[in-house]
Amino acid sequence: MNKSRALCVISGGMDSALAAKMAKNDGYDIVAVHFNYGQRTENRELDSFKKISKDLDAKITHVVDLDFFKQIGVNALTDDSIDVPITGINPGVPITYVPYRNGIFLSIAAALAQKYSAKAIYIGVVEEDSSGYPDCTKGFIDSINSAINLGLNDNDLEIKTPLIHLSKADIVRKSLQYGVKLEHTWSCYKNEESACGLCDSCRLRLKGFKEAGKKDPIAYIA
């Protein structure tokens, strides 16, 4: 008898890698899905996705190209005219927020979940210790899960967010506990070779490793 499938949205970062590993640990066969959306580090993130998918022994991988995000712009990840902030994490929604990105990702993921008969979608959103993106909150995820099920032929698809209330230090610890190969993940918003160490995503990642008392295995600019 085939195991149930879970569709895992995998960006290439350590959060999504851990969420997917937890899905695997929960007994699901993995359908690994990645979105190219014109982000600055698109090639490095795609490379990380391929490595993470192999680590998971994912039988199905799916890469979706969403070039229209560059046409929308108004954010530092897809609009080259806007610099990625490197001065520290500030209150409020940062300029790196890609408008409604997770809403669009999850809508497409729901269609793919139906295609592959997946019973769950795993996504590594974090609310408690994050950049403050509005589409990473539990309220948003619960609402879009309800809306998605209203639009499907059946209504038992569950969006699972096992990391949503964790700190970055907890994520580092759990990643090591679950055997996630963190050297295969990428978090930097700016660079594809050595991580900058200064953008919000790098700062949050480094903060997590420091608080967990562990060393980050990826390379940073000295």
Question: Quick one: pLDDT at residue 16?
Answer: 98
Residue 220 covered by a domain: no
Domain with 29, as residue range(s), is: 5-212
Residue 115 covered by a domain: yes
Residue 72 covered by a domain: yes
Distance CA 179, CA 16 (A): 14
Distance CA 17, CA 175 (A): 8
Distance CA 17, CA 31 (A): 13
Number of domains within the chain: 1
Residue 37 covered by a domain: yes
Could you report the average pLDDT of every consecutive run of 10 residues in the chain (222 residues)? 86 98 98 98 98 97 97 97 95 94 98 96 91 94 97 90 97 98 98 97 97 98 82
Question: Quick one: pLDDT at residue 3?
Answer: 78
Residue 222 covered by a domain: no
Helices (DSSP H) in 135-199: which residue ranges?
138-151, 168-178
Residue 31 covered by a domain: yes
Token pair, residue 216, equals 């980050």
Detail the DSSP E strand segments found in 51-177.
Answer: 60-65, 118-123, 158-160
CA 122 to the chain's CA centroid: 10
Residue 48's CATH number:
3.40.50.620
Question: Quick one: pLDDT at residue 133?
Answer: 95
213 backbone φψ class: left, alpha, beta (φ>0; ψ -120 to 50) = left
Is residue 59 within 8 A of residue 89, CB to CB? The reply is no
Amino acid at 144: I
Please choose, from the candidates 14, 36, 32, the residue with its C-alpha nearest in 3D space to the C-alpha of residue 23. 32
